[in-house]
Every structure is written in structure tokens, then in C-alpha cells.
């Protein structure tokens, strides 16, 4: 029996099932900015059936981006949207990580072309949420004001309903091109841009391994609530690492164009550390993968009521598990236990030298 989650009314009066569908993986393998940034494990027929199954199970929020397979994710969603009433689905997409032949990805004329292509790919006349996918607006933010005006113009035309931006993050190639000691404070950068953009939505990475906010500083959910924003949470399962999906004795092998190929998370050493660190969760909540999926999703859902959690997939079976394992809410004691267990795991990862949360940013 499906565990139905009560809908939430988020920014823009969008009524959303708070377990949304992340559609990065269904874009398939791809590269951008000279980096692998896709998923090699996607299959189009499985992707389409997964979207259909998610809708059957109550999902109504689909999140994608123009750079996910360079339109491929959007086109698969477009095939699905032809089969359901448009007003029963909330669509979120993003632009800003693909410049094509334009001088810059945030040049207004290019933004207009990209949005037009996104709408064409999706087969719709509007987006419910449209994100500025990154915070790189050119030298001295030369494109920022024009990009914001273009976004407002999209709203005036009825092409988008609400505007989003990412939480604190680094541009995709910064860790490759900028020495650590020369990188700016990404949190200060975020706050500066937030004051200028004043978004309706924030896109943030968050899961049980995310460290708590520093003393005296609001976490991202409290910050958003204080400013009338809603939050879309990505990586609640940390790409399967928090579900026991991967066996350190048989580490996964990913194909070309898969961003996971260059991440230390999926090496035997990191997988062993994660497996050992999650043992207390198995002892408390159960040993089946669905038990850990429930813990990971519920933990994020219960952090704040101004948020929705985006869970990715590549098969209909994963979709069914994501929506059918949620069960009862976690208790406050459960939440504390998960935080303490995950904190200990994070320390183990740090001690082992594995970069887990502060990994090279990829468009997501």
C-alpha cells in the first residue's frame, strides 16, 4: 500500500507532494564544461515508465534542467506530459550551465533561446519554477542585472511562475581551476546574490550527512523561511550511498559521461567506511534497503515544512520503493539518533581522507 504524504503549499501557491522526482539521472550520459556530468545507467523506456509510476503513486513535482543530457531529460518528461493534465504537474527546470555559441550562459538573448527550447522540449507553455542554475555571472557580475531583468520579463510574459537560485555552492570547475586558498567564501557569495535576486525557491544539497549550521547562524531552512522562500532538496539519498546500495567488495563501474566515475565516494575504501558507519541505522530501523531509504527521505522531509525533497531514479522499481517505503514519521529521538550516527560517519570519512560533502560541484 502506498504511503501517501500530505501535500504542501510552497512558494507561488504551488501545491506539491513533498516527495518530488529528480530527473537528472534520466538525462543519460553527458559532458559539459569538459567534465562528465551525466548518468550512464539510464534507459529511456525505464525512465518514462518511472515517471508514469511516480505520478500513479502521487508525485506531482518534476525537476529537470536544460543541461541534463542537454535536453534529453526534458524531452522524456515532455513525452510523459502529453499523457496527463498539465495542471496536475508542477515542473521545475534550470538554465545557466550551457552557453552554446553565446558569449555567456546568462546573456539575455541566450537565456530566452534556452527557455524557448526547454518549453519546446517539455511540450508546455510555462514552467512553475525556473532556476538560475549557478552563480557565475561573468567578471564583476557583468551579466547579473540583465539576467535578473530577463527572468522578471519571463514572469511578466507568463512563461515562468516563480524564480529559483541555488544555495551556497561553487561553480562546477572552480575546484579544478582555482587554488583552495584563493577561493572566496561561498556562503558570503550566496547571501550577497540572495539579496539581489530575492528568489522564491532555493535548491540545496541536503541529507543526513550534512553538518549542522555553525553556531549563531541559521540553517538553510530557517534562512529560507525567514525570507519567505521554499526549498527544493536534492541528494537526500546521497546518490544511493545512504541506502546500502553499493557493495565495497564489488564497487560499481560507471560508463563514459557519468559524473560518478571521478568521485572518491564510490571507491572500496569509502564504501567500506560508509557501510560500517551506517550499521547503527540498520540495527535501529531495519536491514532492508527500503528501511534506509525511508530513514533518508523522512529525515529530510521532517527538517522543515517549507521544503520538498527531490529523489532521483533510473528504474520504475526505484520509484516504487521511494514512494512505498515511507511509513510513519520519524520520532524526535529517531531524528537525533540519525544525526548523531551520521555525524560519526562524517568524522570517519574525514579521517579517512575521503572528500564526501565538499566534492567537486557538478550541475545538478
Q: How far is it, in rounded angstroms, from Cα 148 to Cα 157?
A: 14
Output the 3-class SS for 325-347. CCCCCCCHHHHHHHHHHHHHHHH
Is residue 361 one of the residues assigned to a domain? Answer: no
Q: Does some domain include residue 360?
A: no
Write out pLDDT tens, residues 31-43.
Answer: 998 889 999 999 9
Average of pLDDT values for 53-79?
98
Return the pLDDT at 305: 94
The total number of structural domains in the chain stands at: 1
Residue 1 confidence (pLDDT): 36
Is residue 1 in a domain?
no
Tell me which of 176 and 4 has the higher pLDDT.
4
Instruction: Give me the chain's average pLDDT, please.
Output: 91
Polymer length of the chain:
364
Which DSSP letter does residue 329 get?
P
Residue 60 lies in a domain: yes
Residue 179 pLDDT grade (very low, low, confident, very high; cuts 50, 70, 90)? low
In this structure, how many other beta carbons lie within 10 angstroms of the beta carbon of residue 195? 9
CATH at residue 191 = 3.20.20.100
Q: What is the pLDDT of residue 214?
A: 73
pLDDT range class, residue 88, cuts 50, 70, 90: very high
Q: How do residues 336-356 score in pLDDT, each as one tens digit?
A: 999 999 999 988 887 776 554
Residues 6 or more apart in contact with residue 92 via CB below 8 angstroms: 61, 62, 63, 64, 127, 128, 129, 130, 131, 164, 201, 232
Could you read off the pLDDT of 267-296 as tens digits, one per residue?
A: 999 999 999 999 999 999 999 999 999 999
**Closest alpha carbon to 24 in 99, 60, 77:** 77
316 occurs within a structural domain: yes
| 17: phi then psi, degrees, rounded to nearest 5 | -70, 120
Q: Is residue 293 part of a domain?
A: yes
Q: Is the pLDDT reported for residue 50 higher than 70?
A: yes
CA-based torsion, 260, 133, 170, 309: positive or negative: negative
In a domain, 356, yes or no: no
Q: What confidence score (pLDDT) does residue 34 get?
A: 87
Task: Note the pLDDT of residue 174.
Answer: 56
**Residue 185 has what pLDDT?**
82
What integer is the mean pLDDT of 158-180? Answer: 78
Instruction: Give the list of residues 6+ apart from residue 86 with CB closer than 8 angstroms, or none.
Output: 124
pLDDT at 186: 85
CA–CA distance, 354 with 351 (Å, rounded to integer): 8
Range of the domain at 76: 8-351
Q: Residue 223 pLDDT more than 80?
A: yes
Task: Using alpha carbons, select from 74, 47, 50 the residue that is nearest to residue 63.
Answer: 74
Lookup: cell for 37: 556530468
Instruction: Decide: 96 and 68 in contact? Cβ < 8 Å.
Output: no
The three cell numbers of residue 137 are 555571472
Q: Which of 1-10, 112-121, 162-171, 332-341 has the lowest mean pLDDT?
A: 1-10
Cα–Cα distance list, 15 to 12, 61, 69, 88, 278 (Å)? 9, 9, 28, 9, 34
Confidence of residue 181 (pLDDT cuts 50, 70, 90): low
C-beta separation of 4 from 301 below 8 A: no
Residue 357 lies in a domain: no
Amino acid at each position: 500500500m502506498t504511503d501517501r504524504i500530505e501535500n504542501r503549499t510552497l512558494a507561488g501557491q504551488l501545491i506539491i507532494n513533498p516527495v518530488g522526482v529528480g530527473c537528472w539521472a534520466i538525462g543519460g550520459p553527458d559532458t559539459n564544461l569538459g567534465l562528465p556530468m551525466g548518468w550512464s545507467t539510464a534507459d529511456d523506456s525505464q525512465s518514462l515508465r518511472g515517471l508514469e509510476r511516480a505520478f500513479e503513486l502521487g508525485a506531482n513535482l518534476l525537476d529537470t534542467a536544460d543541461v541534463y543530457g542537454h535536453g534529453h531529460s526534458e524531452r522524456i518528461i515532455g513525452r510523459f506530459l502529453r499523457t496527463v493534465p498539465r495542471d496536475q504537474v508542477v515542473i521545475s527546470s534550470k538554465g545557466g550551465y550551457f552557453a552554446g555559441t553565446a558569449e555567456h550562459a546568462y546573456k539575455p538573448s541566450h537565456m530566452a533561446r534556452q527557455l524557448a527550447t526547454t518549453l519546446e522540449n517539455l511540450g508546455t507553455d510555462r514552467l512553475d519554477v525556473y532556476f538560475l542554475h549557478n552563480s557565475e555571472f561573468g567578471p564583476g557580475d557583468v551579466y547579473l542585472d540583465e539576467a535578473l531583468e530577463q527572468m522578471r520579463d519571463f514572469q511578466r510574459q507568463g512563461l515562468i511562475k516563480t524564480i529559483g537560485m541555488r544555495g551556497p555552492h561553487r561553480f562546477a570547475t572552480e575546484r579544478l581551476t582555482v587554488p583552495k586558498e584563493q577561493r572566496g567564501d561561498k556562503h558570503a557569495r550566496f547571501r550577497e546574490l540572495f539579496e539581489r535576486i530575492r528568489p522564491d525557491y532555493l535548491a540545496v544539497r541536503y541529507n543526513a550527512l550534512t553538518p549542522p549550521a555553525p553556531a549563531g547562524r541559521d540553517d538553510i531552512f530557517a534562512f529560507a523561511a525567514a525570507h519567505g522562500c521554499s526549498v527544493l532538496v536534492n541528494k537526500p539519498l546521497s546518490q544511493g550511498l545512504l541506502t546500502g546500495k553499493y557493495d565495497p567488495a564489488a564497487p560499481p563501474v560507471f560508463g563514459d559521461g557519468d559524473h560518478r566515475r571521478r568521485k572518491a565516494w564510490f571507491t572500496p575504501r569509502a564504501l567500506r567506511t560508509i557501510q560500517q558507519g551506517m550499521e547503527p541505522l540498520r540495527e535501529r530501523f531495519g536491514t532492508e534497503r527500503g528501511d534506509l531509504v525511508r530513514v533518508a527521505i523522512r529525515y529530510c522531509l521532517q527538517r522543515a515544512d517549507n521544503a520538498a525533497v527531490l529523489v532521483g531514479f533510473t528504474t520504475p522499481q526505484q520509484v516504487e520503493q521511494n514512494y512505498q517505503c515511507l511509513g510513519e514519521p520519524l520520532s524526535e529521538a529517531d531524528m537525533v539518533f540519525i544525526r548523531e550516527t551520521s555525524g560519526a560517519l562524517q568524522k570517519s570519512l574525514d579521517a579517512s581522507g575521503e572528500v564526501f560533502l565538499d566534492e567537486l560541484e557538478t550541475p545538478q
